[in-house]
Amino acid sequence: MQAQALLFILISLTVCLASGIWIGVSLFIVSLSSMYLFLDLPVEKILSAMMWNVSNSSILLALPLFILMGDILVKTKISTQLFKGLTPWVSRIPGGLLQINVLASALFAAISGSVAATTAAVGKITIPELERRGYDPKLIIGSLASAGTLGILIPPSMPMLVYGIVANVSIGQMFVAGLIPGILLMILFSLYVGLRDPGFKQRKEETYSRKEWVSSILQVTPTVALIGAVLGSIYMGWSTPTEAAAIGVGGAILIGLMFRSLSVSEMVEILKSTTSTSSMIIMILIGASFFSTALGFLGIPKYLCRLVLGSNVSPMVIMTLITLVYLFLGCLIDGFSMIVMTVPIFMPIISAFGFSPIWFGIYIVLLIQIANITPPVGFNLFLISGITPYSVVQIAKWSFPFLLLMLAFIILVIAFPSIITYLPTIAFM
């Protein structure tokens, strides 16, 4: 029965998605139809109980709060301040001001949790300024497209929140686990930018007075302070992710008022955008929870575990196959859909082979980063194409070396899982 049910689910899910039906609705349709077809259970009661349990979770409140914080920060002048503040510090190192794409993206990622917010906010400032100064467009666009994906690896992160809810793991541990990989990948991007920019010795960047150096520190301070307030409160155990998100919203509003870039009309538009995005994600989460429940009643996770364990394949073979599945899905669907569709199926297999669910969550986020710069659905490719005269194909081509760096980094965290698990292990002892 499990084999027939699994085949039915895969075919019906493919048909629904190919028909353009929203992922949340698709999950409901597939779950309901499979349970009605293969089981004799009160499906309506199961659905109502599951919807109440998911929507009544206090952890879910962190999601709209972090989205609201990111939307507010996009409207402020914080990205402009970051560019001005970082300029004196990077102008004379290999890569020059190209390093701002990487560093500013990493800093903005640590307060927004969103690829879209990070890439758009940083790109609108750095692209015209770097082009004016004669930097190579290939490196400008490639570094921005790839570094912008740090928005979901460096916590807080929307995919980490979604994964934590779907996989029922600690969101606080997920945030802590993403810190070291995020910093290491940022350094990897920075090194590549420096090595690929041989003209830095010939450029005569501006000299800066002591007053300008002091001013640069002050311009970066609001960002660093907000990062410290949000992430520091989680790492120190002073607040839950939901409480930290509320602190972040308060800090973002304060920054907006300080820069005088947040009007009442803009705040209304921000609230509308946050409500729309949050509703979409929450509907996907409820659909995913029902999908996971249906799989459990149908016995599909246990069936797959027996199938995989009985084949006597090594854990590395399994991880290679799962990686290929995610790389394929990344060419077709968005990151949230990848999480909610696959985690209920893959999680029992991962647990059976002894992999940490926290490690697996960060591994998925890394693969979603690649999906953001992988055609034809790579979100960052379309976003940057919308704010520049370059085509999606050009941007994908210029981002390809950074994509290879991400793949190399994924191989590294598979070989050395402690890169991900070390920090949450010592932080939550």
What does the pLDDT average to over 181-196?
90
Distance from C-alpha of 142 to C-alpha of 105, rounded to nearest angstrom: 13
Query: By residue range, what is the domain housing residue 277?
Result: 2-427
Its pTM stands at 0.82
What does the pLDDT average to over 222-241?
82
What pLDDT score does 401 carry? 92
Sorting pLDDT into bands at 50, 70 and 90, what band is 358? very high
Ranges 23-27, 136-140, 196-200, 340-344: which has the least confidence: 196-200
CB atoms within 10 A of CB 276: 11
Q: Is the Cβ–Cβ distance between 151 and 119 less than 8 Å?
A: yes
- Long-range contact list for 404-411, CB < 8 A, 24+ apart? 405/146, 405/185, 405/188, 405/189, 405/192, 406/146, 406/149, 406/185, 406/366, 406/369, 406/370, 407/370, 409/181, 409/184, 409/185, 409/188, 409/366, 410/323, 410/363, 410/366, 410/367, 410/370
Question: Per residue in 281-292, pLDDT tens?
Answer: 788 778 877 887
Buried b (16+ CB within 10 A) or exposed e, 308-336: beeeeeeeeebbeebbeebeebbeeebbb
Mean pLDDT of the chain: 82
Q: What is Dmax (Cα atoms) for the chain?
A: 77
What does the pLDDT average to over 340-359?
86
Amino acid at 19: S
What does the pLDDT average to over 162-170?
86
Ranges 172-186, 295-309, 350-364: which has the least confidence: 295-309
Ranges 2-16, 50-64, 118-132: which has the least confidence: 50-64
Q: Is 354 strand, coil or helix?
A: coil
Q: Is the Cβ–Cβ distance between 361 and 163 less than 8 Å?
A: yes
Q: For the chain, what is the domain count? A: 1
R_g over Cα of the chain: 22
Inter-helix orientation angle 335-352/158-167, to 10°? 40
Question: Per residue in 375-399, pLDDT tens?
Answer: 777 778 888 888 788 888 888 899 9
Q: Is the Cβ–Cβ distance between 147 and 397 less than 8 Å?
A: no
What pLDDT score does 204 carry? 53
Ranges 138-147, 268-277, 280-289, 412-421: which has the least confidence: 280-289
The answer on pLDDT for 327 being more than 70 is: yes
Q: Is the Cβ–Cβ distance between 375 and 393 less than 8 Å?
A: yes
Question: Per residue in 299-315, pLDDT tens?
Answer: 877 777 777 767 777 88
Q: Is the Cβ–Cβ distance between 91 and 273 less than 8 Å?
A: no
Q: Is the Cβ–Cβ distance between 106 and 231 less than 8 Å?
A: no
CA dihedral 370, 375, 378, 380 (to 10 degrees): 90
